[in-house]
Structure 1
Amino acid sequence: MPAAGRPEVDDDIGRHLQHLRVERRLAERTLTLYADAFSRLRGFAEQSGVDLRQAQPHHVRRWAGQLHVHGLAPRSIALMLSAWRGLYRWLGRDGLVAANPVEGVRAPKAPKPLPKALSVDHAVALAEPASVDDPGSAALAARDRCMIELLYGCGLRVAELVGLDLRAGATAAGWIDADDASAHVFGKGSKRRSVPVGTHALAALRDWLAARAAIASPDEPALFVSQRGTRITDSQVRSRLKRRAVLAGLPTHVHPHMLRHSFASHLLQSSGDLRAVQELLGHANITTTQVYTQLDFGHLSKVYDAAHPRARKRG
């Protein structure tokens, strides 16, 4: 006769929920999630004929596997296991279980979502001066165009962009050599890398440098400055980019890292050279860059589905 349905088991769960409510003071939403997790645990134990206090790691692994088979997302399974782990840890303090059967049991890994990238047309539209410029300030419009050209044209991180100085120096975190058409930045781990700067970005840089003196504070070393004349911040870049995307009529929210993703995926689609894209992005490990091959395959799949006669749906 399965012991999981005995009153003391339900009492274990009830007392633990009371502990979480009164002593831990968990939010009602969290308590509801935990109660559901314990209900599922009780159900699994009853179906398996296992005394809840006698459950073993192999039981818990099988139950977690059943959650996965039934379509529960990895993050939801992780929450369930966390609730179960806490219950058994609490029972262990009272000597009601010899060991915690949930220790060492992990939820399946959640698939990493693909980074979102703009289409080529949308990326170009974002930097296009004629249809996008904010009429409020010609200088700020020139600055924003230049920032977008560097984020998309060079694949810079936003921290690398705001760290750029007007010129090279011992204290400079990064700079652009217009004569050499290259940007020199410090990436993650203080690793320096150099990337080519395209003709559109160089033209935007010249326009911005011509307008920069109108708003930059004297002796400010930063290449990009805010309206106050000091170095622009990450959040200000995000805000300006969001505004510019709205002005351009783009159908999606745009953030700086999306332009870096777009740079990588568009370059890979054109060249197929994964190693070169890795170097341009400054990734220490090529496996980090390989996510863009999935973006590339997605692009090819869309082309195939739209164009290949054998892929068209029959009416």
Structure 2
Amino acid sequence: MSESPVTLPSSLQQPLERFYEYLRSEKGLSLHTQRNYKQQLETMAGHLVQMGLKSWNQVDAAWVRQLASKGMREGMKASSLATRLSSLRSFFDFLILRGELSANPAKGVSAPRKQRPLPKNLDVDEVGQLLEVDEDDPLSIRDRAMMELMYGAGLRLAEMVSINVKDISLGAGEIRVVGKGDKERKVPFSGLAQEWVAKWLKVRGSLANADEPALFVSKLGVRISHRNVQKRMAEWGQKQAVASHISPHKLRHSFATHMLESSNNLRAVQELLGHENISTTQIYTHLDFQHLAQAYDQAHPRAKKKGKE
């Protein structure tokens, strides 16, 4: 059920009418954009009246944030909210141009970024099904080593492709990885990931060019490309009859989810993934805030409750 339109006082309506005329005569915007701006501005003006404001001079950044919050509570899409705030910024710029305002209160307020949907992680049984590669030709051994390493160490695709043979320490179970922003970190790997990387190193010489430093190479003997890795993993997903589409990112995401489910150690998972901010790890692992707060309370030495020390 739509709200009844609010009657605007002339102190709010007249500047809007001047702005609409400006859009028509000077800006040359399409009728569709003009109608959009008018609808958004009059909706916001109505909200301001309900908040007790009578003049555009009374609007500050806090009021603009309230308008944005109201839109979010009403279930507006991020793109619609962005249009709403854009129309308000344009209107205030017009008032500044005419000397009716000295600053634009909507300038620093932005709509929330549209969240990219994360891939659904594989469950443990699906991972097992995918990695049951028992063929012993060099390409199959390479592919299983790549998938075991991606799932076993939670690497990004770019990180895995850029690993050189000298970055691997099989005995110590460590890999030197260069992540986003050229930040270097050591990543532990063990078990089946370690076993299959060792198997690959034994047959790598049958494919790799003599002077090629890359750990993983294509059948041409040079460093494998991102696209080739994506293609091979998708093909193995089909071959192993896994219901989900397989991608490198899905294996990394599954690593993060399974590690968190079994360890409940958010900070350790953050370190392993190479995330600068813990909020990124929180998004990856579908944590709700309560779970995050509990993990913090249990783990942080200064968050422990008195009497439990």
**TM-score normalised according to structure 2 size:** 0.72
Aligned residue in 2 for 1:309: none
Structure 2: distance between partners of 1:193 and 1:252: 31
Matches within 5 A, 1:187-226: 187-226=179-218
Q: Describe the SS at the equivalent of 2:10.
A: coil
CA distance in 1, matches of 2:245, 2:21: 45
Q: What corresponds to 1:232 in structure 2?
A: 224
In the alignment, which residue of structure 2 is the partner of 1:64?
A: 68
Distance apart, 1:67 and its partner CA: 1.8
Q: Aligned pair 1:9/2:13, yes or no? A: no
1-side partners of 2:267 and 2:52: how far apart?
55
Q: Deviations over 1:196-252 (max 9, x none)?
A: 322322332244334433432331111111233221233332333233333333343
C-alpha separation in 2, matches of 1:31 and 1:150? 54
Q: Report the counterpart of residue 98 of structure 2 in structure 1.
A: 94
Q: Residue in 2 aligned with 1:156?
A: 155
Structure 2 unmatched runs, 5+ = 1-7, 292-309
Q: Partner amino acid for 1:38?
A: L
Distance in 1 between residues matched to 2:289 and 2:74, nearest whole Å:
31
Query: Superposed, which structure 2 residues align to 1:134-283 within 5 Å?
Result: 138-166=137-165, 168=166, 175-283=167-275
Distance 2:66 2:270 in 1: 40
- 1:143 deviates by 1.9
Give secondary structure in 2 for the equivalent of 1:129.
Answer: coil
Pick closer, same or farther for the CA change 1:109–1:224 going to 2, 3 Å.
closer
CA root-mean-square deviation:
3.9
1:152 to partner: Cα distance: 0.4
Verify the 8 A CA contact 1:118 1:258 in the aligned structure 2. Answer: yes
- After superposition, give the CA deviation of every residue in 1:25-62 in whole Å (9 maximum; x if it has no partner): x8x98777545433533554676786675451255344
Q: Secondary structure at the match of 2:287?
A: helix
Contact 1:265 1:295 in 2 (8 A): no
What is the deviation of 1:284?
A: 4.6
How many angstroms apart in 1 are the aligned matches of 2:25 and 2:127?
54
Code of the residue aligned with 1:127 in structure 2: it is: L
Residues 154, 92 of structure 1: CA spacing in aligned structure 2 closer, same or farther, 3 A cutoff? Answer: same
Q: Name the aligned partner's letter for residue 3 of structure 1.
A: S
Q: C-alpha separation between the residues in 2 aligned to 1:18 and 1:146?
A: 65
Unpaired stretches in structure 1, ≥5 consecutive residues: 169-174, 299-315
Rounded Cα–Cα distance in structure 2 between residues aligned with 1:67 and 1:178 = 54
The yes-or-no answer on 1:123 pairing with 2:127 is yes
**Alignment partners' CA distance in 1, 2:32 and 2:155:** 40
Instruction: Provide the rounded CA distance (Å) in 1 between the counterparts of 2:23 and 2:264.
Output: 56
Q: Is the 8 A contact 1:54 1:97 kept in 2?
A: yes
Superposed CA deviations along residues 273-300 of structure 1, whole A, max 9, x for unmatched, are: 33433343334555544553718999xx
Q: Provide the residue aligned with 2:5 in structure 1.
A: none
* Alignment-derived partner of residue 294 in structure 1: 287
Find the aligned partners of 1:60 and 1:288 in 2 and give their Cα distance: 27
CA gap of 1:14–1:121, structure 2 versus 1, over 3 A, is farther
Alpha-carbon distance, 1:99 to partner:
3.5
Q: Secondary structure at the match of 1:213?
A: helix
**Could you tell me how far apart the structure 2 residues matched to 1:296 and 1:250 are?**
32
CA distance in 1: counterparts of 2:154 and 2:45, whole angstroms: 51
TM-score (structure 1 length as normaliser): 0.70
**Structure 1 residues 105 and 251, CA, compared in 2 at 3 Å: closer, same or farther?**
same
Please give the secondary structure, in 2, of the residue aligned with 1:180: coil
Task: Give the aligned partner of residue 40 of structure 1.
Answer: 43
Would you say the 8 A contact 1:3–1:52 is kept in 2? Answer: no
Does structure 2 retain, via aligned residues, the 8 Å contact 1:184–1:194? yes
* % identical aligned pairs: 37
Distance, in Å, in 2 between the alignment partners of 1:63 and 1:76 is 13
Question: Which residue identity does 2:19 align to in structure 1?
Answer: D
